[in-house]
C-alpha cells in the first residue's frame, strides 16, 4: 500500500512549522534569561562597592536623624564662614617696624576661653596639625623655615616611659612600656610673634600676628618643673581659615554671638605681656630684668610702641 507524497506533505507541513516556531521561542527565552542573569550578576557585584563609597568616610559618624537638637536652632554660619585677605601692603609704605614676642597665660581671667573644656584652643591646633590640615614648623628658630610632618607632631603629643613591675606569682621583674598622652590642660601658655609697623599710606600704626607656639612644661623624673619649651610654631596667616571656622566662648555672656578664634586674635581679645622685642643683642627681657622689673620693662616697651605713633603728630 503506497502513500501519496502530496498527502504526507500536506499533513506534516503545519506540524513542522509549529515545531520550528516553538524552538525559536525557546531559543529567544533562553537568550533573554541568560542576558538577564549576566546583567543581574554584574549589578549585584557592583552594589557593595557603591555602598562602601557612600558609607566609608574619615569623618566622625553623624548623629541619628532622631537625635534631639541641643539648641533652639541649628547653627551653620560658623562652618561656612570665610575670612577676608589682608589689605595689600607695599614695602615702601612700611615707614617703621618692630617685632614683638608675647606670652598669653591661659590662667588669667581674660584668657579663660583658651581652655574652654568643650573646644580648647590647643586641641584645635594639635588635631589640625596631626591630620595635616594645618602646617606647623620646628622651634629651631621662629622664622618658619622647617615644616614638621604629622607623625612628628603626633610624637610630641605623647611620651614613652618604662615602668618596673613584679609578677605576683613568680616575683620576677617585668619591664613595661607606658605611653602617656599629652593632655591639653598641661599647655597653659602660648607664645606669640607679631610685627608692629607704621603704614605711611594710612598714617596708622598696625599689627599683624605672624606665629603662635604652645608652651609645654618640662619636668624631671620626680615631676619637678625644670623649664618651659615651645612645641611647634603655627604660621598664623595660614591658620586664619581654620580659626575662623571654630567658635570661641564669648565672655560677654551672649553665647549666640558668632565669635571665632580669628576674631579674638584680630580684635586682640586676650591679655598678654611682652617677653622680647627686636634688639641688637637678640636677648629676652628676662636676661636683663626679672620679677617686677621684667613686668615694668614689658610695660615700657608697650608704651614706647604706643607713643611712637603719637610722636609723629604735631598739635
Tell me if 193 is assigned to some domain: yes
Tell me if 53 is assigned to some domain: no
| Distance of alpha carbon 197 from alpha carbon 216, whole angstroms | 30
Whether 123 has a pLDDT exceeding 80, the answer reads yes
Strands (E) in the chain, as ranges, are: 94-105, 136-137, 158-166, 173-181, 189-199, 204-219, 225-230, 233-235, 273-277
Tell me if 18 is assigned to some domain: no
Lowest-pLDDT range, 47-51, 89-93, 238-242, 247-251? 47-51
Tell me if 57 is assigned to some domain: no
Tell me if 54 is assigned to some domain: no
Lowest-pLDDT range, 43-47, 51-55, 87-91, 177-181? 51-55
The answer, as to whether pTM is greater than 0.75, is no
Residues 243-297: pLDDT tens digits? 998 888 888 777 777 789 999 999 999 999 999 999 999 999 999 999 999 999 9
Residues 94-106: pLDDT tens digits? 999 999 999 999 9
Residues 47-87: pLDDT tens digits? 444 333 333 334 445 556 677 877 777 777 777 777 888 98
Could you tell me what percent of the chain has a pLDDT over 70?
Answer: 80
Tell me if 183 is assigned to some domain: no
CB count within 10 Å of CB 272 equals 22
Tell me if 122 is assigned to some domain: yes
Tell me if 49 is assigned to some domain: no
Residue 185 confidence (pLDDT): 80
Q: Which residue has the cell 588635631?
A: 127
Q: Which domain holds residue 210?
A: 94-148+189-311
Whether 186 has a pLDDT exceeding 90, the answer reads no
- Reading the block at residue 6, the C-alpha cell is 502530496
Lowest-pLDDT range, 88-92, 207-211, 217-221, 228-232? 217-221
- How many domains does the chain fold into? 1
Residues 198-210: pLDDT tens digits? 999 988 899 999 9
CB within 8 Å of 190: residues ≥ 6 apart: 103, 104, 106, 114, 121, 122, 212, 213, 214, 215
- Of the two residues 222 and 303, the one the predictor is more confident about is 303
DSSP 25-36: HHHHHHHHHHHH
Amino acid at each position: 500500500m503506497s502513500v501519496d507524497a502530496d498527502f504526507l506533505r500536506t499533513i506534516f507541513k503545519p506540524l513542522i512549522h509549529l515545531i520550528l516556531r516553538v524552538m525559536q521561542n525557546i531559543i529567544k527565552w533562553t537568550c533573554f534569561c541568560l542576558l538577564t542573569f549576566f546583567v543581574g550578576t554584574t549589578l549585584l557585584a557592583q552594589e557593595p562597592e557603591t555602598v562602601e563609597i557612600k558609607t566609608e568616610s574619615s569623618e566622625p559618624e553623624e548623629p541619628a536623624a532622631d537625635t534631639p537638637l541641643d539648641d533652639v536652632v541649628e547653627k551653620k554660619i560658623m562652618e561656612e564662614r570665610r575670612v577676608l585677605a589682608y589689605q595689600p601692603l607695599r614695602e615702601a609704605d612700611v615707614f617703621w617696624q618692630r617685632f614683638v614676642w608675647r606670652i598669653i597665660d591661659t590662667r588669667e581671667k581674660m584668657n579663660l576661653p583658651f581652655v574652654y573644656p568643650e573646644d580648647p584652643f590647643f586641641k584645635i591646633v594639635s588635631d589640625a596639625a596631626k591630620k595635616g590640615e594645618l602646617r606647623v614648623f620646628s622651634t629651631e628658630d621662629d622664622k618658619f623655615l622647617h615644616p614638621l610632618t604629622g607623625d612628628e607632631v603626633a610624637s610630641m603629643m605623647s611620651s614613652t616611659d618604662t615602668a618596673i613591675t613584679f609578677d605576683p606569682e613568680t616575683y620576677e621583674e617585668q619591664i613595661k612600656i607606658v605611653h602617656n598622652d599629652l593632655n591639653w590642660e598641661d599647655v597653659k601658655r602660648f607664645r606669640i610673634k607679631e610685627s608692629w609697623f607704621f603704614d605711611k599710606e594710612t598714617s596708622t600704626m598696625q599689627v599683624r600676628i605672624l606665629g603662635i607656639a604652645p608652651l609645654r612644661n618640662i619636668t624631671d623624673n620626680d615631676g619637678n618643673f625644670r623649664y618651659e619649651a615651645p612645641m611647634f610654631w603655627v604660621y598664623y596667616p595660614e591658620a586664619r581659615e581654620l580659626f575662623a571656622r571654630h567658635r570661641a566662648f564669648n565672655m560677654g555672656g551672649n553665647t549666640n554671638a558668632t565669635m571665632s578664634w580669628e576674631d579674638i586674635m584680630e580684635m586682640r581679645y586676650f591679655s598678654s605681656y611682652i617677653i622680647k622685642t627686636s634688639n641688637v643683642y637678640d636677648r629676652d627681657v628676662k636676661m636683663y630684668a626679672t620679677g617686677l622689673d621684667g613686668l615694668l620693662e614689658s610695660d615700657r616697651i608697650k608704651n614706647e610702641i604706643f607713643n611712637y605713633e603719637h610722636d609723629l603728630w604735631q598739635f
